[in-house]
Amino acid sequence: MNNPIVEKINQLRKEKNAVILAHNYQLPEVQDIADFSGDSLELARIAKKTDCKVIVFCGVKFMAETAHILNPDKLVVMPDPQAGCPLADMVGVDDLRRLKADNPGSPVVTYVNSTAEVKAESDVVCTSANAVKVVSAIKTDKPIIFVPDMHLGSYVRKMTGRDLVLAPGYCPTHRHIMQEDIDERKKEMPDAVVIVHPECSDDVVEAADFVCSTSQMLKAVENSPQAKRFVIGTEVGMLHRLRKQFPDREFFVPSSRCVCPNMKKTTLEKLLWELESLEHKIEIDPSTREKALGAIERMLEYV
């Protein structure tokens, strides 16, 4: 049976020359209707290559901001403006300035899961996929300030041996994944490959077979052809994409707590309403946008 909401969305996206982007953690039906799904920076860069006039970003606010930073001439909207990121909000621009004052001369590496203002106050942005490369490439005899995620920062410190000053930020959803969850899954499925996100705590990372960003998780599964079962230590929405891409494999989350409530705020109904109204526009001060763009472009130079 045809879904009238889906039909109307398809009609409006053509009329308004809109591209729909959905993060890997979105609801399955939102991922399915999107033109592209992926991680936040990947999607923003994809949008830059399209000739669309409107970007509808199904994710959380910092992701839509990043799309606007890279696409200033396109209208960027999000279906639910209340879809925020607790991790991004844990370290504000004043917090970062205090860290810089306490560590004069230290370069600042900022995880893409951050506000536009914090990106603008940074030397270079990184993703979970390239954080190790970015930090390794920085030439300095000073400690490196790394914000906002202390767990990703801890992982980068371990992988690079660099002296990092970490902020106390964390992703609540990844923090909910416990080592006991991983251990229990291993007992249930000793043949399963365990893949976790570096936003998980140190003990969970230690218990994993692979530590990967969401985009790298797809490659890790592809590169494990003999494995049939996988425990995926990240937000549950990632399982939908994995199951679509690898229908012959089985995927499990470590526990029922692997749900980000903010990522689940976007629905098909809200997506339709946003295409009708284009109401929830992302706007960033031009000076802030330019500085944040510079930090992103420096990342691309490093990697």
* pLDDT at residue 289, as a whole number: 98
Domain(s) of CATH 3.40.50.10800: residues in the chain: 4-83+263-284, 87-170+287-302, 177-252
Taking alpha carbons only, the member of 213, 63, 206, 211 closest to residue 128 is: 213
Q: What is the pTM of this model?
A: 0.95
Q: How far apart are the first and last CA of the chain?
A: 47
* pLDDT at residue 44, as a whole number: 83
CA distance linking residue 46 with residue 216, whole number of Å: 17
Taking alpha carbons only, the member of 159, 168, 126, 123 closest to residue 142 is: 123
Rounded to an integer, the average pLDDT of 227-254 is 98
Instruction: Tell me yes or no: is domain 177-252 CATH 2.60.40.2470.
Output: no
pLDDT tens-digit readout, 202-240: 999 999 999 999 999 999 999 999 999 999 999 999 999
Min mean pLDDT across 43-57, 74-88, 145-159 is at 43-57
123 against 301, higher pLDDT:
123
CA distance linking residue 27 with residue 232, whole number of Å: 17
Min mean pLDDT across 40-49, 75-84, 209-218, 219-228 is at 40-49
* pLDDT at residue 303, as a whole number: 82
* pLDDT at residue 40, as a whole number: 84
**DSSP per residue, 147-197:** ESBHHHHHHHHHHH---EEEPSB--HHHHT--HHHHHHHHHH-TTPEEEE-
Residue 1 in this model has a pLDDT that exceeds 80: no
CATH superfamily of 87-170+287-302: NadA-like (3.40.50.10800)
pLDDT tens-digit readout, 143-155: 999 999 999 999 9
Task: Report the chain's mean pLDDT, rounded to a whole number.
Answer: 96
* pLDDT at residue 47, as a whole number: 86
* pLDDT at residue 2, as a whole number: 76
What topology does CATH give the domain 4-83+263-284?
Rossmann fold (3.40.50)
pLDDT tens-digit readout, 162-186: 999 999 999 999 999 999 999 999 9
Q: Pairing between strand 36-38 and 75-77?
A: unpaired
* pLDDT at residue 41, as a whole number: 83
Residue 302 in this model has a pLDDT that exceeds 60: yes
The token pair at 184 is 């229990």
Residue 122 in this model has a pLDDT that exceeds 90: yes
Task: Indicate the SS3 state at residue 90.
Answer: helix
pLDDT band at 48 (very low <50, low <70, confident <90, very high): confident
